[in-house]
Amino acid sequence: MPWVEQFELHVNSQVGDAHSVQERMIAALERLEYTERDVFAARLALEEAVVNAMKHGNGMDPGKRVTIGCRVDSDCARFEIEDEGPGFCPGSIPDPTADENLDKPSGRGIMLMRAFMNVVEFNARGNRVVMEKWRGAAVEATAGSSL
């Protein structure tokens, strides 16, 4: 089945620049009548991924870009976010639910992405993430994975 909506855009590393792109992605899900829960999940995970790319990947360097790709059909919404930074190891992020980390103000973005999206996969370098939300499908608790 062909994708109903498909596009790829580049934004500079300023958080406000990505919001119109994110809204376009979410509007596609709403047009296809994804559930409120699915839309909530996608919006939250997209925000976390884009902010991570800009802030941690590109170091908020306005000269660096974030590429945001979106493909949506009636069963699956797929998002690809890539930054121009050096990458990182997703496995190196401390568990934010550990007692010693609970009161730290950051480090929860990837956990939330994994909790709300059916697929979250990083490339080997760690500067690109692919996420999928399957219509109406609950998220299985799985360990993190990388391509």
Partner 1 sequence: MSDGGHRRIDIEQIGDVTVARFVDKKILDETNIQIIGNQMFGLVDDEGRQKVVLDFTNVEYLSSAALGKLITMDKKMKAAKGKLRLCSVRPEIYDVFAITKLNKLFSMHDDLDAALQGL
Q: Which residues are near partner 1 by CB under 8 A?
A: 15-16, 19, 37, 40, 43-44, 47-48, 51, 55, 96-97, 102-106, 108-109, 111-112, 115
CA distance 109 to 120: 12
Instruction: State in angstroms the smallest separation of the CB of 140 from partner 1.
Output: 14
Nearer to partner 1, 63 or 105 (CB): 105
Instruction: State in angstroms the smallest separation of the CB of 2 from partner 1.
Output: 30
Tokens of 40: 């909530």
CA distance 85 to 83: 6
The residue to which tokens 């596609």 are assigned: 28
Nearer to partner 1, 1 or 138 (CB): 138
The residue to which tokens 């609950």 are assigned: 138
Instruction: State in angstroms the smallest separation of the CB of 104 from partner 1.
Output: 7
Other Cβ atoms less than 10 A from the Cβ of 7: the count is: 14
Nearer to partner 1, 3 or 139 (CB): 139
Instruction: State in angstroms the smallest separation of the CB of 111 from partner 1.
Output: 6
Nearer to partner 1, 43 or 125 (CB): 43
Instruction: State in angstroms the smallest separation of the CB of 42 from partner 1.
Output: 11
To the nearest 10°, report the CA torsion of 43, 28, 72, 41.
20
Tokens of 75: 């069963």
List, in order, residues 6 or more apart from 140 with CB less than 8 Å away. Answer: 118
Nearer to partner 1, 111 or 119 (CB): 111
